[in-house]
Amino acid sequence: MSASPCFALLRGINLGRRQCVPMAELRRLLESLGCIRVRTLLNSGNAVFEAQAHELQALGPALEAGLRERFGFQVPVVVGRTQALERVIVGNPLPGAVRNPGQFLVAFPTSEKLLDRAEPLRGENWRPEELALAEGVAYLHCAVGIRASRLLRAFNRVLGNSVTTRNWATILKIWALHESQRTIPG
């Protein structure tokens, strides 16, 4: 059985001295869970790797348990196939937002059904900010800035710790890391 290209996103780690997870430890943990060709990006819990497709659903909870055991704190984790990440990029419903990639966020829920909670937010006027919900993710264009964003505050109130976000620049870097890994012999 061949391994599938995958990614993992950890929520809320390495923010100052809070919830520190060294990327070398994250790589070792993923490898101990059967992942291969593990690579990390930045110091904020982004990883690409290969895993058996039939094990993917159990990988998120296993990674959360391993992090809790090794570091003593709970870290929500989103795991998916990189083809889903490609859909996020290609299917971007807010193409104008990419002009300001630091203020354009993609939110990944720990469970796709959780996005139903954000549905009522679509009916509100967020201008100049924008919200779009798509297959398995939400897109938030925080045009007034991340810290000043009413949309992001409302979104976080509704979804809390069950979602992790990455800005557009980071999404593209994760994708580039995946693409570079495809060119490295296995």
Residue 17 phi, psi dihedral angles, 5° rounding: -95, 5
pLDDT digits (tens, 9 = 90+) for 161-172: 899 999 999 999
pLDDT digits (tens, 9 = 90+) for 144-184: 999 999 999 999 999 998 999 999 999 999 999 999 876 55
pLDDT digits (tens, 9 = 90+) for 107-135: 999 988 999 999 999 999 999 999 999 99
**CB atoms near residue 175 (< 10 Å):** 17
| Rg, the chain, Cα only | 16
Residue 185 tokens, joined? 């012999």
Beta-carbon contacts of residue 149 (< 8 Å; ≥ 6 apart): 129, 140, 142
Structural fold of domain 3-85+173-182: Alpha-Beta Plaits (3.30.70)
Q: Say whether pTM exceeds 0.85.
A: yes
CA pair distance 76, 78, nearest whole angstrom: 7
- Find the angle CA(104)-CA(74)-CA(171) to the nearest 5 degrees: 20
Confidence of residue 17 (pLDDT cuts 50, 70, 90): confident
Q: How far separated are the first and last CA of the chain, in Å rounded?
A: 15
